[in-house]
């Protein structure tokens, strides 16, 4: 499986697995990024968190909008602790400034 390393902005980073939009999702918590290729690199369009990927991602209310902006893949990483999910989501949004996130800027 392919991975992508996303910086948190504090010198640390997280390794996300890259999935097709139609991937089957497990009932696990974590962070996800709707992403598109920008040349040789990935661009984050939307960053979010989920308590359960299997119930959140297949019918996500922002996925169609992300696809309209060019999203082709979903990057995901399992993060068990809710406090880490909250903190890292904020850090990623603040550092990467994805066009579809307006909070935590």
Query: Tokens 């598109």 — which residue?
Result: 36
Residue 5: other Cβ atoms inside 10 A: 10
What SS3 state is found at 97?
Answer: coil
Show the beta-strand stretches assigned E in 3-93: 3-7, 13-20, 30-38, 41-50, 73-78
CB 75 within 8 A of CB 6: yes
CA 79 to chain centre: 12
Please list the pLDDT of the chain residue by residue as tens digits (105 residues). Answer: 799 999 999 999 999 999 998 899 999 999 999 999 999 999 999 999 999 999 999 999 999 999 999 999 999 999 999 999 999 999 999 999 999 998 766
pLDDT at 1: 75
pLDDT at 105: 67
> What is this structure's pTM?
0.96
């Amino acid at each position: 499986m392919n991975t992508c390393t996303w910086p948190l902005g504090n010198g640390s980073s997280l390794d996300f697995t890259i999935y097709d939009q139609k991937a089957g999702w497990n009932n696990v918590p974590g962070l996800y990024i709707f992403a598109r290729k920008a040349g040789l690199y990935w661009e984050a369009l939307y960053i979010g968190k989920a308590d359960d990927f299997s119930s959140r991602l297949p019918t996500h209310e922002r996925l169609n909008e992300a696809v309209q902006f060019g999203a082709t893949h979903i990057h995901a990483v399992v993060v068990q602790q809710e406090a880490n999910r909250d903190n890292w989501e904020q850090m990623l949004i603040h550092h990467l400034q994805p066009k579809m996130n307006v909070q935590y800027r």
